[in-house]
Structure 1
Amino acid sequence: MVAGYRAALAIPGVARVVAAVLVCYLLAGMVNLSLLTSATHATASYAIAGAVVAAYAAAVAVSAPIWGRVVDRRGPLWTLAAASTAQATAFIGYITVLVVDAPAPSLIATAAVAGSCTPPASAIAKRIFAKYDDPGSRRALFAISGLFSELVFVVGPLIVGGIVAIAHPTLAVAVTAAVSLAGVWWLRGAPAVRELAAAQAGDPSAEPRRRTGLDAAQLHVLAVVTLGAVAIGALQVSVVAHAAHLGLNPGLFVAGLACGGVLASFTYGARSLPGSLPTQLAVALGLYGVLIVAFGTGPGIVISVVLVLLAGAVTGPADAIEALLIADHTPGHAQSAAFAALTTANWLGFAAGSALAGTAIDRAPLWAATTIAGAAALVAALSLVMRRGPEHSG
C-alpha cells in the first residue's frame, strides 16, 4: 500500500513540500484550544473565550479566498511572507493584550486579525500537487493532505494540552504562532514553491484581468463541501451530547471519528477506487448520512463507537476527492483562490452545523440533531448524482 506514496514522495521537491505543509497544518490543530484556554484563563468567562475562537474562525473563513486570490496575482513567495509576518504580529498583539489584562473586546479583535492573516499554505501546496499528471501521484498527494488535516486535530490538542499542563496558557499561544511561522517559511523556501512562483511570473494568463470568478461547476463542488461540513459539524456536537448521556468521555467518540478518517485517507491514497470522482464523493456522503441517522437512534457504547469509526472512515477521503474535483475544474493560474475557497466552505459549514445541532439538542432528542446532519450529507450526495461531473476516476 505504501508503493503509491513512495512514488509520489520520490518526485523531486515534493517531500519538502509535504513535510513543511504538515507543520503549517498544525496551526489549525493547535489554535482553537490555545485561544480558548488562554482567553478562559484571562477572563474566567467561557462566553468571552467562545467569542474569541468564533472571531478567529470567522476571520479565517472570510479571508481565505482573498489570500488565495493574492497568491494567483502576486505569487506564493510574496503572499506567504506577507501573511505570515502579519499573523505573527497579530499573535504578538493578542499575547500583549493577555499580559496587560486589556478589555475582552481587545482579545476578540486581535484574534480576528490573526485569523484574517492565516497564510494560504494549504492552497499553495494543493496547487503544486495538482500540476502532476500521473493520477496515482496526484491522488496520493491529495490524500496525504487530507490525512494531515485529520491528524493535526489529534496531535495539535495534545501539544497544547501538554503546554498548558506545565506552563501558562499564554505560552501555548506563543508556541502556536511560532509553529505556524516556522512551517510557512519552511514551505516558502521549498524549491517547488519557488518553481511555481517563477512559472507564474512568466505566465501571462496569470494576470488578474484573466480571472472572472468561480464557474458553475466550482460553485457546485463548494456547495457540496459546505453541506458535508454542516453534517460533520452537527455530528461533532451530537457525539459529545451522546457521550454525556452514556456517561463517557466525549474524547472517545471524537478520537474514533479522527482515527477512522486517518486510516481511510491513507487507504484512499494507496488504492484506486472505481467510478468517477463525483460518484466516489456521492457514495461517501450517502453512507455518511445513513451512519449519522443510525447514530441518532442512541445506540449503546459498542455500536456507537463502531458507527463513529465507520463515519470517519467513509468521509476520510472526502478532502482529497473535493480537492481533486476543484483541480479538474480550475485552470492552473486560478487554482490558489479556488483551493482557498474550500477552506471557507469547510469553516462556514462546520460552524453552521455545530450551531444548528447545538440548538436542536437543547430543545429535542438526539435524533433531531443527527437528522440535520444526515439530511445535509444526503442532499449533498443527491446533488452529485443528479449533476453530471467530470469523468476522472480516483
Structure 2
Amino acid sequence: MSPRTVFDPYLRLFAVPGSRAFAFAGWVARLPAPMLGLGAVLLVEEASGSYGLAGAVSGTLALSFAVAGPQWARAMDRRGQGAVLRLAMVSLAVTGVAFALAVQLDAPRWSWFLLAALTGGSAPNVGSMVRARWSAALDSSGRQTAFAFEAVVDEVVFVLGPPLVTLLATLVAPPVGFLTGILLGVVGGFSLAAQRDTEPPLHPQERSATGRRRSVVTPTLLVVALTYLAVGTVFGAIDVVVIGFAEAEGAKALSGLALAVFAGGSLVAGLVYGLARPARSLAARFVGTALAFALAAQLLWAVGSLPMLVLCGFLAGLTIAPVLVSGTSLVESRVGRGVLTESLAWTITGLTLGVTVGSALAGAAVDSWGAQQAFAVPALAAGAAGVLALVSAPLLRERAGVAPATPEERVNSPARG
C-alpha cells in the first residue's frame, strides 16, 4: 500500500474549496498559543528572577484567554468570524506590545498582571474557529479526520513554537520571543478573517438566554471540559518545570527543544489516530484515551536527566492527541444547532484554565522543591484527568430521544444577519 493511499483521507480534506487557505492561516494564527505563555515565563523570569512570579503572570494570561475565548466564539456564531476576528487582532497587537514594554521598563508589578490579562483576553480561540469551518463543510466521517488533522496542526505549533520562542528570548532578547508570537498571531488572524467564503453560517440570537445555556452546557461538555482542565494543568506545569529543569542542568536554551518532544510524540499519534476507525463509541474512546494519558504521564516521575526527559516526554506525548481528538469529536457529535463554535471554545477553555493552574502550581513547586521534584505536579494532574474521565463515564451516555443537529441543519440554519 502506497503512502498516498494510506493518507488519502487527509488528502481528501483539501479537496474542500478554500480549505488549504483557511487551514494554513489557522495554523499561523495558533502559533501564539505556545509562544505567548512560554514567552511570558521567559520574559518575566529574566526581569524578576522568580519562577513563581513568572508562572503567575503567564497563568493570568492563560486564565484571561480561557474566560474570553467562549465570548469571542459566541459573537462569531452570531456576527461572523471575519468582523469579530479583525477587532480581536487589533486589540491583541496593542495589549501584547504594552505588556512587553511594561515588563522591560520595570513598571509596577500590578500592571504586568493587568496587561497580561488584557493580552490573553484579546486572543480568540482560533482552533475552535477552524474546526467550525471543517464541521460546516464535511460529513461525520470527514470531521473525525479533520479533527485529527487539527490536533496534528496543534502539535506542529507546539513543536515549532517552544524552540522558536526560547531561542529568540535567550539568544536575542527576552521580549523578542513574546513579540514574535504576537506578530504571527495577528498576521494569521487577519488572513483568516479575510476568507469569508469558508465561514460557517451565522445563527440568530436565541430568544431565551436560559435555552441557549442549556444547549451549550450539556453533561458531555461538562465532563470533557473538566477532564481537559486536568489535562491543561499538565501542559501548564510542563512548560514551567521543563524550563526550570533545563536551567538546573545548565542547558536552558534547550528547554524549548525538550518541550517540542512532547508535541512530537503527540503529532505522530494524531496522524495515526486520524486514520483509525475504532468500533468503540466516541464516549468509550474518550475514557480510554484519558486513562492512557494518565498512565503514560507517570513516566515523568523517572526524569533525572535531559536525555531521560526527552525519552519520557516523547512516550507521554504519544497519548496527547488521542485524548484531545476524542474529546473534541464527542462534544461536536452532540452539540446543538447554532452553538458549535462556542461549544468547541468551552473545551479549550477547560484546557487553558488548567494551564493557568498548572503554571502557578509548577512555578511555586520549582521555587520550593527544585525542578526535578516539581515533575510531581504534571504527573499527579494527569492521573486526575484519568480518574475524572472514568468516574464521569455514566454521564456520557446519550439520552434517549435527544438527537444532535445534523450537518445539514448546521449548514442550512437560519439566514445570516
Give matches, 1:273-288, under 5 Å.
Answer: 273-288=278-293
Give matches, 1:296-311, under 5 Å.
Answer: 296=301, 306-311=311-316
> Which has the higher mean CA deviation after the structures are superposed, 58-67 or 377-386?
377-386
Within 2, Cα distance between the matches of 1:247 and 1:168?
A: 19
Instruction: Indicate the residue corresponding to 2:11 in structure 1.
Output: 6
Q: Deviations over 1:184-227 (max 9, x none)?
A: 11111114444x2xx31xx4466674523412222122122223
Within 2, Cα distance between the matches of 1:100 and 1:239?
A: 27
1:22 aligned to 2:23?
no
Instruction: Indicate the residue corresponding to 1:117 in structure 2.
Output: 122
Instruction: Indicate the residue corresponding to 1:339 in structure 2.
Output: 344
> Which has the higher mean CA deviation after the structures are superposed, 216-225 or 33-42?
33-42
Shift of 1:356: 5.1
> Contact between 2:233 and 2:378, CA under 8 Å: does it hold in 1?
no
> Contact between 2:55 and 2:359, CA under 8 Å: does it hold in 1?
no
The one of 174, 186, 192 aligned to 1:169? 174
Instruction: Indicate the residue corresponding to 1:221 in structure 2.
Output: 224
Shift of 1:21: 0.6
Q: Report % sequence identity.
A: 25
Q: Deviations over 1:290-314 (max 9, x none)?
A: 2333553668988775543332112
> Contact between 2:266 and 2:319, CA under 8 Å: does it hold in 1?
yes
Within 1, Cα distance between the matches of 2:148 and 2:298?
A: 27
Within 1, Cα distance between the matches of 2:360 and 2:170?
A: 30
Within 2, Cα distance between the matches of 1:298 and 1:118?
A: 34
Instruction: Indicate the residue corresponding to 1:61 in structure 2.
Output: 66
The AA in structure 2 aligned to 1:87 is: L
- In the superposition, relative to structure 1, how do residues 357 and 347 fare at CA in structure 2: closer, same or farther (>3 Å)? same
Instruction: Indicate the residue corresponding to 1:74 in structure 2.
Output: 79
Instruction: Indicate the residue corresponding to 2:388 in structure 1.
Output: 380
> Contact between 1:29 and 1:157, CA under 8 Å: does it hold in 2?
yes
Shift of 1:28: 0.9
Within 2, Cα distance between the matches of 1:165 and 1:300?
A: 21
- In the superposition, relative to structure 1, how do residues 322 and 192 fare at CA in structure 2: closer, same or farther (>3 Å)? farther
SS of 2:318's partner is: helix
Within 2, Cα distance between the matches of 1:308 and 1:389?
A: 33
Shift of 1:379: 0.9
Within 1, Cα distance between the matches of 2:107 and 2:379?
A: 43
Within 2, Cα distance between the matches of 1:328 and 1:72?
A: 18
SS of 2:153's partner is: helix
- In the superposition, relative to structure 1, how do residues 165 and 231 fare at CA in structure 2: closer, same or farther (>3 Å)? closer
The AA in structure 2 aligned to 1:183 is: G
How many corresponding residue pairs? 387
Gaps of 5+ in 2: 1-5, 405-417
TM-score (normalizing by structure 1):
0.83
> Contact between 1:296 and 1:366, CA under 8 Å: does it hold in 2?
no
Within 2, Cα distance between the matches of 1:247 and 1:96?
A: 29
The one of 143, 160, 163 aligned to 1:138? 143
Shift of 1:359: 6.4
> Which has the higher mean CA deviation after the structures are superposed, 236-245 or 336-345?
236-245
Q: Deviations over 1:170-193 (max 9, x none)?
A: 343433222111111111111444
> Which has the higher mean CA deviation after the structures are superposed, 307-316 or 278-287?
307-316
Shift of 1:37: 3.5
Q: Deviations over 1:306-333 (max 9, x none)?
A: 5433321122222222221121121241
RMSD, matched Cα: 3.5
Gaps of 5+ in 1: none
